[in-house]
C-alpha cells in the first residue's frame, strides 16, 4: 500500500512522532489516520512504561499566572537530563499542565496521594447513596467503586481529561511526550494559588 508524504506529515503533526514511525503506523493501519494514531499511542505507552523506572532528577519548576493575576500555578516537572528539560517540547508540556491545573484545581498528582480522610468520606457518601437504591450489597460495592473512580477522574491530575483535548488524560499527554523525547517524565509536585482562597 502506498502512503503519501502528506498523510505521514499530517500524522506527524498530530502525534509528534518521527516520520518513519508515522509511516509504519499508517501502513499497519492501512492508511486510516485514526487507527494509525491509536497504534502510535499504544507504542508510546509501551515505550513510556519501559522508561518509567528510570530516575528523573532533572527538569524545571514552571510558573503560570492567569491573565488578571488572580490565579497562579507552580509546577515541578522532572525528566532525566538537563538537555530534555531545555527543549521546547518539554517546556510546552509543562505550560500545558500548568494551565490545566489552573483550570481544574486538582487535589493531588496521583490517586495514591489523595488523603485517606477524603477517600473515606467520599466512600461513606457513595455507600449511603447506593444503599438507598435498595440494591444487593455486591451491587452497592460496585456502584461505590464506579463513583470513586469517577471522583478520581475529576480530581486527580494524572487521571483528569486534558482541558485542551478531552479525548486524552494528563497521563496520556505525558506518555506521548515520553515517546517523543525518549526520557521518563514525572509530575513531582504542584501548588495552585488563587487570590482570596486559603
pLDDT in tens, 91-146: 999 999 999 999 999 999 999 999 999 999 998 888 888 887 777 888 878 888 89
Work out the average pLDDT over 49-60: 66
- pTM (whole model) above 0.75: no
pLDDT in tens, 24-43: 888 888 888 888 878 877 77
**Residues forming beta bridges with residue 64, ordered by sequence position:** 73
State how far the Cα of 3 lies from the Cα of 21, in Å rounded to an integer: 13
**Residues forming beta bridges with residue 70, ordered by sequence position:** none
State how far the Cα of 150 lies from the Cα of 148, in Å rounded to an integer: 5
Q: Are 57 and 186 in contact (CB under 8 A)?
A: no
Q: Are 79 and 184 in contact (CB under 8 A)?
A: yes
Contacts of residues 123-132 at CB distance under 8 Å and 24 or more positions apart, as own/partner, are 123/148
State how far the Cα of 95 lies from the Cα of 125, in Å rounded to an integer: 35
Amino acid at each position: 500500500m502506498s502512503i503519501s508524504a502528506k498523510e505521514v506529515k499530517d500524522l506527524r503533526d498530530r502525534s509528534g512522532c518521527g516520520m518513519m514511525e508515522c509511516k509504519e503506523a499508517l501502513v499497519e493501519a492501512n492508511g486510516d489516520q485514526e487507527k494509525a494514531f491509536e497504534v502510535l499511542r499504544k507504542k508510546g505507552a509501551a515505550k513510556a512504561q519501559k522508561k518509567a523506572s528510570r530516575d528523573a532528577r532533572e527538569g524545571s519548576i514552571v510558573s503560570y499566572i492567569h491573565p488578571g493575576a488572580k490565579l497562579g500555578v507552580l509546577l515541578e516537572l522532572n525528566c532525566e537530563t538537563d538537555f530534555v528539560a531545555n527543549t521546547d517540547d518539554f517546556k510546552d508540556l509543562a505550560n500545558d499542565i500548568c494551565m490545566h491545573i489552573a483550570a481544574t484545581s486538582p487535589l493531588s498528582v496521583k490517586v495514591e496521594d489523595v488523603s485517606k480522610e477524603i477517600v473515606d468520606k467520599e466512600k461513606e457518601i457513595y455507600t449511603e447513596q447506593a444503599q438507598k437504591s435498595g440494591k444487593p450489597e455486591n451491587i452497592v460495592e460496585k456502584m461505590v467503586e464506579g463513583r470513586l473512580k469517577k471522583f478520581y477522574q475529576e480530581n486527580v491530575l494524572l487521571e483528569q481529561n486534558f482541558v485542551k483535548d478531552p479525548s486524552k488524560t494528563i497521563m496520556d499527554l505525558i506518555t506521548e511526550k515520553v515517546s517523543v523525547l525518549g526520557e521518563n517524565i514525572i509530575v513531582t509536585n504542584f501548588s495552585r494559588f488563587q487570590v482570596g482562597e486559603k
